[in-house]
Amino acid sequence: MLNYLMKSRPGQFLLIGVCFIVLGFVFTLFHDGFSRISFYIAIFFLGFFAAKDAVVDTVRSKSPNVDLLMILAALGAVIIDYESEGALLLLIFAGAEVLEDYASTKSTSAISELMSQVPDTAQLLKDNGEVVEVSTEDLKVGDTVVVSKGAQIPIDGFTDRNTMVNEAALTGESVPVEKEKGAEVFAGTINEGIAFHLTVNKLSSETVFSNIIRMVEEAQNRPSKISKFIDRIESKYVIAVLVAVPIFIFILYALQDFTFREAFYRGMVLLTVASPCALVASATPATLSAISSGAKHGVLFKGGAAMEALSTMDVLYSDKTGTLTYGEFTVIDHEVDEEILKEVVYMEQQSTHPIAEAIVANFADLDLEAVDRTEPVEEVAGAGIKKGDIKVGKPSAFDDYEDVNNYRSKIEKSHTTVFVGKGKHIVGYFSLADQIREESAEAVSGFQAEGIHVALLTGDNVNVAKTVAEEVGIEDYAASCLPEDKIRYVQESQEKDKVVGMIGDGINDAPALANADIGIAMGSGSSVAMESSDVVIVKNNLAKLFYSFKLSRRLNRIIVANVTFSLSVIVILIVLNFFGLLNLPMAVLFHEGSTILVILNGLRLLLQKDRTAMA
């Protein structure tokens, strides 16, 4: 904190102001003139930024703000020769402002921590074999980068050989992952295998980490609903106070036989205690702290509204593949003509779906030279992919296809089946198996214990859906869902006045994520899913979502407590002033002290612990 005070200009002005206030009180013992001068200098430094904000914001927004009230109260104290009280008022107000800025700085440190995990330089391999160090910002798609053993990978790309990569920074899993030749590796992860050459496939501004950093930055500029509400009423409240204070002074002076000096003094007390400083600080520092805490634990909220909304969720719909399961499929059985198999493998190379990756990996040694590469491969969201008259996808997409070989009988419980069609005939199938994420059942149980209805929506067959649902403890599930089906389920719940959350990771989940009240994407999923969501679980651990839910609930409790406390303090102090039981120093102490307390209360969220981190 002291380091922040020394480096920031408001902090430096605060320290200078403190020094002159101390001198002012010391000089009161020896020389009143020097004492007044010291307090005037303190008022200048302590009120400089408040005055600047009061003038700039009032002119820009054409409405007064809380800074204006504080400056007027301090000037009023000076007019009636209460320089020390005016200086103390601005001291505590400036201290609260610096503390709030410090809270914002602490929350934005999450970005710095993320950025520090990614190297800003890379070893570029030139055409002549020379290796030169360049900035990652200068790398282009197609460039070749040398990644040494033990080095951090500087940018996203494809490896040219088998290696081992520690992806803990992204997934939270400390066990290195084996990456085969041609597999994608990500910036910020660590090469724990042999040195390899990486072919850049994304610009530095498009990597997974850069997207994470961008989303955190955007989140901090998107206020919560209660913050926006407080911002809207602030100017109206300030105007009401500016009107009420002169009326109050007039009533005391004209109707209560107070001297003008006494009436004005009581008016300055009212101006001080009626200022909504604590109320204004009730939500924003707490929300920024919560966003920062979430980012530190691998959960990105795209703004305070998303953070607040999560705690109000009534229904949570979940995708299966890559969400409740690892999404790491293995081909356990297949039957298809070899020539068509080559076409299928080539088609699946164009997709990033886990099933496609499993098929490509299983037939990595297949010679695809004879495949026609001029015909385009089209992805059909929620159904599969096609190339010409060849189609690969879920069984429900082949309901109108003839099945002369009775491949439909190959559909087995607990396995995922993919059909291959040519023309209007089913000509083959693949049977794949996936694994349940260990933390899925724990997260589902946690949500259900909180009274949230959890349901499974999957494009897979009913047998697989039932098996997965039973393993994770979900009673309500729907199988063979197309993107429009998932949207329908979301909207039906919303029509029943339910706050709906949807979690998924694929392109087919993106429409439902966008339609849900709270869209939640897994960080390993498609960029479309992440862009369509309100929350991103960076580290692929579903228990992180339950942590986020608990964090959201704690945030809302803190905001409610802050608002209640700040309003109570204002009301109590106004009542005490009406009865003449409050002087200006005590008004300053209690009112501005309440502002500091609500800021510190919000900062507690920076210490929120993630119980899943131990899992």
Residues designated catalytic = 319
How many CA within 13 A on the CB side of residue 269?
A: 25
Q: Are 460 and 320 in contact (CB under 8 A)?
A: yes
Q: Spell 464-475 as b/e; 16+ CB within 10 A means b.
A: bbbbbbeebebe
Q: What is the CA radius of gyration of the chain?
A: 31
Amino acid (1-letter code) at residue 225: K
Q: Report the 10 Å Cβ neighbour count for 59.
A: 9
How long a stretch of residues is the chain? 615
Provide the 10 A C-beta neighbour count for residue 296: 16
Let me know: does 608 contact 293? Beta carbons within 8 Å: yes
* Residue 417 host element (H or E): strand 416-422
Tokens of 434: 């996936």
Sign for the CA dihedral angle at 326, 331, 333, 337 comes to: positive
Do 521 and 302 form a contact (C-beta atoms < 8 A)? no
Q: Which residue has the tokens 């002290």?
A: 593
Helix axis angle, 66-79 relative to 225-250, nearest 10°?
A: 30
* SS3 state of residue 477: strand
CA distances from 104 to 67, 217, 222, 369 (A): 18, 12, 13, 57
The answer to whether 167 and 173 are in contact (CB under 8 A) is: yes
527 sits in which H/E element: helix 527-532
Taking alpha carbons only, the member of 217, 212, 210 closest to residue 288 is 217
Q: Report how far residue 158's alpha carbon sits from residue 181's, in angstroms, rounded to the nearest whole number.
A: 8
- State phi, psi for 31 to the nearest 5 degrees: -150, 110
